[in-house]
Amino acid sequence: MSGGSVCAGVLRVLQQFMSETAARLVLRGTLEPLRLSLDTVTPAELPRIIEALEPATRHFVDPSRKAQMMAQLKLLLVSHPAANAPAAVSAPEVRPTTYLVRTEADASHARLAARIMCETMGGRGFECQKVATAVSELARNQISYAGGGTIHLAPQLSPKRVLRVSAEDSGQGIADLQQVLSGTYKSKTGMGLGLLGVKRLADRFDVRTGPKGTLVDFEVWL
């Protein structure tokens, strides 16, 4: 598979989610920082390119379709053995990232980013769904009850694979936290009830709350 055919495959996927012009601009803009060209890309470089395309396509693709696009791009890895060589994929380039959450679109983006990071780390479908569900719940709570906040994703690849998530806001805190986490709390607004669901999804869970805000930390082991 030549560099031209590698890039042609990537372009075919991108053009399903944006215009041809935008797809070509995005791909060229992704390759330049990686010091790659359209004609010399090899299948072994596909993992780096696909990872870099996740942030590069942020403003061109509907957030609700981002996960579908990334999944189709990752199918390119399966279509050529060289793209799956141990040297290319044994240590995926995932790095800590923080997302600002102010709107429903922000919440959706954080959810999709968490799922994609989990998949990139080698997480299975159920594990990645747990991460996405928990992030979605926390982000929407931030919007509804604290005017927004931040979601921080911190991957760990060794000695075991762990995806850590921290959700922080500057709201007024959660009253009756212990009751909320015990499952006995009754709320007319629903505030805080999603925390119990997040706790049940997590392999490790911690929450600190007070009048200056709330910080939720959880881990999912992959």
Q: Give residue 3's pLDDT.
A: 47
Q: Is the pLDDT of residue 74 over 70?
A: yes
For the segment 51-60, the average pLDDT, to the nearest whole number, is 88
Q: Are residues 106 and 62 in the same domain?
A: no
Which residue type occupies 211? P
Domain count across the chain: 2
Residues 92-121: tens digit of each pLDDT = 457 898 999 999 888 888 888 888 888 888
- Dihedral (C-alpha) 180, 96, 6, 34: value to the nearest 10 degrees? 160
Q: Is the pLDDT of residue 13 over 80?
A: yes
Q: Give residue 179's pLDDT.
A: 78
Distance between CA atoms of residues 46 and 48, nearest Å: 5
Which of 41, 65, 87 is at the close of a domain? 87
Task: Please indicate whether residue 108 or residue 77 has the higher confidence score (pLDDT).
Answer: 108
Which of 70, 87, 104 is at the close of a domain? 87
CA distances from 142 to 32, 86, 174, 188, 221 (A): 37, 40, 11, 17, 24
The mean pLDDT value of the chain amounts to: 83
Residues 172-220: tens digit of each pLDDT = 998 888 877 876 666 555 545 578 889 999 999 999 999 999 999 999 9
CATH of the domain at 134: 3.30.565.10
Supply the pTM of this predicted model. Answer: 0.58
Distance between CA atoms of residues 104 and 144, nearest Å: 10
Length of the chain: 222
Which of 87, 119, 152 is at the close of a domain? 87
Most confident of 75-84, 86-95, 194-203: 194-203
Q: Are residues 64 and 109 in the same domain?
A: no
Q: Are residues 190 and 103 in the same domain?
A: yes
Structure tokens at 24: 């070509």
Q: Give residue 213's pLDDT.
A: 94
Which residue type occupies 158? S
Distance between CA atoms of residues 108 and 114, nearest Å: 10
For the segment 19-33, the average pLDDT, to the nearest whole number, is 88
